[in-house]
Amino acid sequence: MSEPVKLYVYDLSQGMARSMSRSLTGKQIDGIWHTSVVVFGQEFYFGQGIMASAPGTTQHGRPLEVIDMGETYLPLEVVVEYIDSLRSVYTAEKYHLLDFNCNTFSNDLCQFLCGKTIPGHITDLPAEFLNTPFGQSILPMIEGMFGQSKLSNGSSSIAPPPSAQAASMLQGLSSAAMSAAPTTVQPVQFVSDSNVMEKYLTQYKAVAVMFTSATCPPCKVIKPEFIKMVEEKHQGHDNIKLLGVVMDTGSPTFQSHKYNIRGVPTFQFFLNGKKTAEFSGANYAELKSQVDMLLFDAFPPHPHRKVLLRSIVDQPNVPITYAVPGKLDMIYGKLNTFLQEANIELDLNQKKVLDGSKVYLENPNSNSIDLNGWKLLLDQLLNKLKTDQLFPLLDIFKSLIIHKQVSDFYVTDPTQISKIMEIGYTQDPAPLRATWLMILRISCNIFANTSLSTTHFTSNLAASHRSELTQLLITSLLAKDAQIRQAAASLAYNCSTSIAIERLKKEEGTFKGMAEQEDDDWLVELSSAVLDALTKETDQEIIHRLLAAIGKYIFLAPTEGSSVANLLSALDIDGILNAKKNENIIESSKLN
């Protein structure tokens, strides 16, 4: 299956190059190009390292142009592995405006995906730019910011200094370039230029500024505390939530009238570029109070964090799995009986594969499993055995898939698992209890491997098999058999756990996933099915699992764009829970 590859093109100068380049350089330059690559529903680009976002949602806004680069036939897992291998190469520290930038990364990725390079007018722009008097005049300034350029021919050292107009142009270009690949990755920046400070105020949501001078004794006392405070607020976060700026008022480029500074130290606090508070003096308590207030206003906690929800918060985000294998001699014996009844005779290699799977389950360190042979054998037997004869075969698979070596194998191609899920909801379930149960347990066990479950069965990627898993879950929640319903409730809980883990990572600022599970339509579908099952359920253990799943579907859900809470309210979840409580089916403590 192929996947389209798109190149998104942005103009970092926001039209400045098009309007000013001819008068400054003598050449028409239509843009200062930043590019990113869109594939598998994600936009990859080089910024603070290699970044991934939903297409069109980066800080660069809407792309100026979208170029069709062709198609890739590489599977998602191979692409992710390749991008991960580049992370140690494409770091923020190595960014260079001329030599090693976003376009370098896009070019490498496009060549890997589909064997094509990005358009030459993009990659050739730095050399073209430097081959002008304007380019040569500002090369020393660029090299001062980003280091020596490979394009430098030595003439920059004797080039005339840039004019005031050229310096202004460079300031705009450098600000745009740093917004694409910020060299300011540290949470505290030391600034002497008011223009640089203005750039930070527009680039970061929350900024705390300390105005100081080298001759101020109180400044020397409070400055280390200010730096320490900002760094502590940043600890554990990949992105800078609070930027601290130390501004030297003694600099000749400092514009005192702009900030109305009458003495130092003075602290000013900015939210979305607007000043929200100010005080003067080395007052640590006031500083801490203002910093905390700024962060609260910039990143207000989720409303759920203001309520004591111990039953949800204390739940471990660990999937429910069926890790203990059954009696292997009995399971393999039953399978052999079914093979004989179906007149299926395994050849020597197939027997070796089947025997090797048993040895592996008895001792996973034996390395006796032939995974390619197992996959081929499983496909053949799925087609030859009757559906009601599949359960011992699927019982073996259920015990195999829990092991990382096996589940990693299926990360590259999970279609066989999807095919097994389809059996659970496309066949008449009445005579298939044992087979149906094993299919559900296999589905639960895939959650032991995060890459397998999130990428292929709970994400909204185009190649995901989420629809098969969802259909199996919805069909099974209302089964007549209690064991089937319990396994289905476990599967619903596992889906909620993958969503909860992602939300917690987002809250902590550590989420780096590329396959988001936060899909409102899917959550509405799951919640509706679980609540419908809860209404009819009388088994206490199943009810507890369904309640836990619903709790995680709601907990930390986005305050905007999420319909789950409104849906549950409309379906009278409070009335349903109170009815269960009055029937003594659930304990009051489970509702807190």
Q: Which CATH number goes with the domain that contains 259?
A: 3.40.30.10
Give residues with Cβ within 8 angstroms of 226, minimum separation 6. 208, 210, 244, 246, 267, 287
Q: How far apart are CA 451 and CA 498, in angstroms?
A: 11
- Same structural domain, 130 and 154: yes
Q: How far apart are CA 11 and CA 32, in angstroms?
A: 5
Strands 188-191 and 242-248: parallel
Q: How far apart are CA 567 and CA 587, in angstroms?
A: 24
CA–CA distance from 357 to each of 98, 165, 430, 575 (Å)? 55, 74, 30, 50
pLDDT value, residue 134: 66
Q: How far apart are CA 129 and CA 21, in angstroms?
A: 10
With 0-12 CB in 10 A as exposed, 13-18 as middle and 19+ as buried, what is 311?
A: middle
Boundary (domain end) residue, out of 274, 300, 326? 300
Is 294 part of a structural domain of the chain? yes
CA nearest 229: which of 275, 289, 298?
289
- Joined together, the tokens standing for residue 422 give 């389809």
Give 267's strand partners. 210, 279
Is 507 part of a structural domain of the chain? no
Is 490 part of a structural domain of the chain? no
Among the listed residues 102, 110, 444, 495, the single catalytic one is 102
- Same structural domain, 91 and 213: no
Q: Into how many domains does the chain fold?
A: 2
Give 4's strand partners. 71
Ramachandran angles phi, psi of 70, nearest 5°: 115, -145
- Same structural domain, 142 and 263: no
Tokens 């069926």 identify what position? 322
What is the extent of the structural domain holding 130?
3-180
Which pLDDT band, with edges at 50, 70 and 90, does 226 fall under?
very high
The helix or strand, by DSSP H or E, that contains position 376, with its residue range, turns out to be: helix 371-384
444 belongs to the catalytic site: no
Boundary (domain end) residue, out of 132, 162, 180? 180
- Same structural domain, 27 and 175: yes
Coil, strand or helix at 351 = helix
- Same structural domain, 157 and 198: no
Sign of the C-alpha dihedral computed for residues 220, 221, 227 and 228 taken in this order: positive
Q: What is the CATH number of the domain that holds 155?
A: 3.90.1720.30
Q: How far apart are CA 153 and CA 150, in angstroms?
A: 8
- pLDDT at position 474 over 90: yes
216 belongs to the catalytic site: no
DSSP class of residue 458? I
Coil, strand or helix at 211 = strand
CA nearest 297: which of 259, 268, 278, 270?
270
- Same structural domain, 75 and 112: yes
Ramachandran angles phi, psi of 509, nearest 5°: 75, 20
pLDDT value, residue 556: 64
The Cα angle at residue 39 between residues 36 and 42, in degrees rounded to 5: 75
Coil, strand or helix at 268 = strand
With 0-12 CB in 10 A as exposed, 13-18 as middle and 19+ as buried, what is 150?
A: exposed
Q: Pick the most confident of 176-180, 243-247, 416-420, 548-552.
A: 416-420
- Same structural domain, 203 and 287: yes
CA nearest 34: which of 64, 17, 11, 18?
11
Of 91-105, 184-198, 416-430, the least confident:
184-198
- pLDDT at position 573 over 90: no
With 0-12 CB in 10 A as exposed, 13-18 as middle and 19+ as buried, what is 233?
A: buried
- Joined together, the tokens standing for residue 589 give 């403590």
Q: How far apart are CA 47 and CA 90, in angstroms?
A: 9
pLDDT value, residue 386: 93
Q: How far apart are CA 411 and CA 404, in angstroms?
A: 10
pLDDT value, residue 4: 93
- Same structural domain, 89 and 192: no
Is 242 part of a structural domain of the chain? yes
Mean pLDDT of all residues belonging to the chain: 82
CA nearest 39: which of 12, 4, 73?
4
For the segment 483-491, the average pLDDT, to the nearest whole number, is 96
CA-atom Rg of the chain in angstroms: 30
pLDDT value, residue 517: 61
For the segment 469-479, the average pLDDT, to the nearest whole number, is 94
- Same structural domain, 291 and 221: yes
CA nearest 556: which of 497, 514, 510?
497
- pLDDT at position 95 over 90: no
Amino acid identity for residue 270 in this structure: F
- Same structural domain, 292 and 222: yes
- Same structural domain, 253 and 170: no
pLDDT digits (tens, 9 = 90+) for 393-447: 999 999 999 999 999 999 888 999 999 999 988 876 666 899 999 999 999 999 9
- Same structural domain, 19 and 100: yes
Boundary (domain end) residue, out of 180, 213, 231? 180
Q: Which residue has the higher pLDDT, 30 or 147?
A: 30
Which pLDDT band, with edges at 50, 70 and 90, does 344 fall under?
very high
Is 370 part of a structural domain of the chain? no
Asked if 130 and 136 count as a contact pair (C-beta separation under 8 A), the reply is yes
Torsion of CA 392, 394, 400, 405, to 10 degrees: 150
Coil, strand or helix at 438 = helix
Q: How far apart are CA 154 and CA 453, in angstroms?
A: 55
Asked if 72 and 114 count as a contact pair (C-beta separation under 8 A), the reply is yes
